[in-house]
């Protein structure tokens, strides 16, 4: 099986070493990830994996160090401000041409993967105080672009994240080293599972 892994940063990739997969440092953010995803898809991998760290929202049943597979992504700050506050495009009346469902789902989740599933929000500005976080568990800065690109190009894909921090402005209690270790261990488990399923 031909597997390619996209890491947003070198830090997230720093502990991962494996000869049977290809790795790419995609860059942080939605734009860089969309471009890196397209380039990776052109190499025709069987599976494309986005692997990185993520923040967890206080209401989610996850803790720092947990490793999750992302089942859905939404581009959380896609919208505009009004005198009454921020309006997401997905909350506009359905009869408007550009008002459509903006939550993207992964149709390739393994059945017996040893990970919790998480709903994710992608943001250009992390910890943005104006977005609606009630229906999501974690946040990152790349996943929605990755999901959108893979779905449009009919590429089999997965996203794996390790929880590094609580999404709370002023909370600097990040566990970068621990989350990168957990991410690396989770990736090895996921790749072994994918190879076993062929």
pLDDT digits (tens, 9 = 90+) for 63-94: 999 999 999 999 888 777 889 888 777 666 55
pLDDT at residue 95 in the model: 45
Question: What CA–CA distance (Å, rounded) separates 100 from 47?
Answer: 28
Question: What CA–CA distance (Å, rounded) separates 33 from 59?
Answer: 28
Residue 15, pLDDT above cutoff 80 = yes
Residue 191, pLDDT above cutoff 50 = yes
pLDDT digits (tens, 9 = 90+) for 19-58: 999 999 999 999 999 999 999 999 999 999 999 999 999 9
Q: How many CB atoms lie within 10 A of CB 30?
A: 22
Residue 96, pLDDT above cutoff 80 = no
pLDDT at residue 101 in the model: 57
* pLDDT range class, residue 97, cuts 50, 70, 90: very low
What mean pLDDT is predicted for residues 99-114? 82
* pTM, entire model: 0.91
**Domains present along the chain, CATH in parentheses:** 3-72+105-120+134-196 (3.40.50.1580)
Dump strand ranges (E) for 36-189: 47-56, 67-75, 79-82, 85-88, 103-105, 116-122, 138-140, 157-166
pLDDT digits (tens, 9 = 90+) for 132-184: 888 899 999 999 999 999 999 999 999 999 999 999 888 888 999 999 999 99
pLDDT at residue 141 in the model: 95
């Amino acid at each position: 099986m031909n597997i390619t892994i996209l890491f947003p940063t070198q830090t997230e990739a720093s502990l991962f070493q494996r000869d049977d997969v290809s790795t790419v440092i995609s860059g942080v953010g939605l734009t860089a990830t969309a471009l890196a995803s397209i380039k990776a898809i052109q190499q025709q991998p069987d599976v494309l994996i986005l692997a990185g760290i993520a923040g967890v929202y206080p209401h989610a049943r996850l803790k720092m160090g947990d490793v999750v597979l992302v089942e859905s992504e939404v581009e959380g700050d896609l919208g505009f401000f009004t005198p009454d506050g921020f309006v997401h495009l997905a909350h506009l009346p359905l009869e408007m041409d550009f008002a459509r469902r903006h939550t993207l789902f992964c149709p390739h989740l393994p059945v017996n993967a040893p990970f919790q599933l998480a709903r994710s929000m992608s943001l250009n500005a992390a910890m943005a105080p104006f977005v609606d976080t009630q229906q999501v568990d974690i946040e990152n800065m790349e996943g929605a672009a990755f999901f959108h690109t893979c779905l449009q190009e009919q590429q089999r894909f997965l996203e794996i994240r390790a929880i590094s921090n609580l999404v709370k402005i002023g909370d600097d209690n990040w566990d970068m080293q621990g989350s990168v270790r957990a991410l690396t261990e989770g990736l090895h488990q996921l790749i072994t599972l994918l190879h076993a399923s062929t």
